[in-house]
Amino acid sequence: MHKSNCRVCGYELASPPWGDDGDSPSWDICPCCGTEFGYEDCTLVSTKRKRDQWIAEGCKWFEPKKRPLDWDCERQCENIPEAFR
């Protein structure tokens, strides 16, 4: 479940940020929170730190053009993989 969602912000990605085996980071950047998969989200502690920082800065989009008009930060955060909450 939620294998294709960003571990930091819950954004649904086109492909799993950590690969099909969950152990092969893509090193892509999340268009929502700007996390580099394999870097800020490599441990639970670093993932939470990045999320806290992102929320504290107002949940800004890394690629603002991709932000849906009716985007809801809290609703998206419900899709964060359970192991990384």
Contacts with Zn ion by CB under 5 A lie at 6, 8-9, 11, 30, 32-33, 35
**DSSP letter (8 states) at residue 13:** P
Residue 14: CB minimum distance to Zn ion, A: 13
Cβ atoms of 84 and 41 closer than 8 Å: yes
Residue 30: CB minimum distance to Zn ion, A: 3
- Residues contacting 71, CB < 8 A, separation 6+: none
Residue 50: CB minimum distance to Zn ion, A: 8
Nearer to Zn ion, 24 or 66 (CB): 66
